[in-house]
Amino acid sequence: MREEVKDSRGNKIGYTETGSNNQVYVYDKMMNRIGYIQNLGNKLQALDKMQNRIATYESNTNATYDKMHNKISNGNVLLNLFFK
């Protein structure tokens, strides 16, 4: 199922699409795949289109960490990292 991603002003900035295999694919507004979010049980991992890890959300700590495991934010902000 494809869903629109909008910024704080309501402008469309991209799309997400849920795939089989526990992944949510992330597209820019021109429908180019820019990455995906992978479900790893109690963790969600954001990867770019070259499969480089961007960040990880850990549900047990309710925090998002960058690829060097530095805390970025409380809560899950993985989708926001694709649309800086």
Q: What is the pLDDT of residues 37-82, one digit of tens each?
A: 999 999 999 999 999 999 999 999 999 999 999 999 999 999 999 9
- Among 73, 76, 46, CA closest to 59: 76
> Which pTM does this prediction carry?
0.90
CA atoms within 13 A on the CB side of 44: 18
Q: Where exactly are the structural domains of the chain?
A: 2-82
Structure tokens at 76: 């899950």
Report the alpha-carbon distance of residue 61 to residue 37 in Å, rounded.
18
Answer yes or no: are the C-beta atoms of 49 and 34 closer than 8 Å: yes
Exposed, middle or buried: residue 34 (CB in 10 Å: 0-12, 13-18, 19+)? middle
Higher per-residue confidence, 84 vs 39: 39
pLDDT value for 1: 84
Q: Can you read off the two tokens belonging to residue 45?
A: 């991992």
